[in-house]
Amino acid sequence: MSKVLGIDIGGTSIKAGMFSTEGELQAVTKIPTGEITSEAAFAVVTEGLKKLLADNGVSPDDVVAVGLDVPGPVDDDGKVGMLANIELDPKGLQKAIKRVFKNANLAFINDANAAALGELWQGTAKDASSFVLVALGTGVGGGVVTDGKIVSGAFGAGGEIGHITVNRDEQLSCGCGRQGCLEQYSSATGVVRLYKVECANRGTEPVKLDGPTDTLSVFNACRAGDEAAQAAIQKMADYLGYALAQISVIMDPQMYLLGGGVSGGFDLFAESLRNSFRKYCLAPSISTRILPASLGNDAAMYGSAYQAMQGK
């Protein structure tokens, strides 16, 4: 009755899934959290995990692996680097989990890398040996898989696709401190910003937006014939196609998978993205497939569980 836990750590909550060792997601829970830096906070997490198991008739001793994904670099040795958007003590949490799940192998992994491994294990990339997952969310992350293995890099920065420079003339700064990063155009915040710029250029009012990441409203406006929205999405796709072409001259993957909230508008920009990629890529890579990821917001849970099992 061996079980595996995949834990997706966010800024305000974690989502944990209980899996069979064959990859079947059997139960999910959401545990509200704040700063995960104290014994009290660690206890909230471990008690939530124990409840998930108890509700499904499983003992902590049945758990053979626990994987945790974090929004930051994790190197090839599993060491967590800078965590810019979350208050987390990885070592403290690791010790607390180990006290409860004594038989389990523990592993940390970057969240985008986890999503890529999830797609490799049980998603669109199940039969692929090399692919790149591009996570288009508030920012842009990436997971690079070659020969069936994730590429974390020597310092954990492998797959930081959002910080490929795609516009050397950009004056605004990216969150990383540089200018012209892909994240400034193809993330949710980037799409909304491009839309507002296109509206200003046309002297038109943007549709009502529910915050700086409301791509859903931009996509709906595009479907309704809003020319500014159509232009913004075209620009987003062009920058993204350019970035993917640069990746292809380095690793030439079989496919690109798009995940994250922005991928919800894939039908609107798929053709433009593929055309842009073909325009910029080296000729041998022209047949590379660009597809939507299939596991949605559960991908990182799958991948975290899978990563932890590799240590068993």
Residue 123 tokens read as 């998603």
How, if at all, do strands 255-259 and 289-292 pair? parallel
Same domain, 145 and 217: yes
Give the DSSP letter of residue 292: E
Same domain, 89 and 151: no
Same domain, 72 and 113: yes
The pLDDT assigned to 10 comes to 78
pLDDT in tens, 147-163: 988 888 888 788 889 99
The pLDDT assigned to 233 comes to 98
The whole model's pTM is what? 0.86
pLDDT in tens, 185-231: 999 999 999 999 999 999 999 999 999 999 999 999 999 999 999 99
Which amino acid type is present at position 184? Q
Same domain, 16 and 109: yes
pLDDT in tens, 240-294: 999 999 999 999 999 999 998 899 999 999 999 999 999 999 999 999 999 999 9
The pLDDT assigned to 84 comes to 55
Same domain, 100 and 133: no
Mean pLDDT (whole number) for 80-98: 78
Alpha-carbon span 38 to 46, nearest angstrom: 12
Contact between 129 and 120 under an 8 Å Cβ cutoff? The reply is: no
Mean pLDDT (whole number) for 286-312: 92
Same domain, 180 and 265: yes
Same domain, 145 and 281: yes
Domain assignment of residue 260, given as a range: 126-293
Provide the percentage of residues in the chain whose pLDDT is more than 90. Answer: 76
Residue 311: pLDDT band with limits 50, 70, 90: confident
Alpha-carbon span 5 to 48, nearest angstrom: 12
Same domain, 78 and 209: no
Same domain, 133 and 250: yes
Same domain, 269 and 304: no
Same domain, 102 and 142: no
Residue 171 tokens read as 């004056």
Mean pLDDT (whole number) for 129-147: 92
Same domain, 172 and 34: no
Provide the percentage of residues in the chain whose pLDDT is more than 70. Answer: 95
Alpha-carbon span 1 to 254, nearest angstrom: 36
Task: Tell me which residue of 215, 214, 199, 230 sits closest to 265, measured CA to CA.
Answer: 215
Residue 78: pLDDT band with limits 50, 70, 90: low
Alpha-carbon span 257 to 112, nearest angstrom: 12
Average pLDDT, the chain: 92
Q: Structurally, how many domains does the chain consist of? A: 2
Mean pLDDT (whole number) for 91-98: 92
Residue 311 tokens read as 């240590």
Helix orientation angle between 299-309 and 111-122, rounded to the nearest 10 degrees: 80
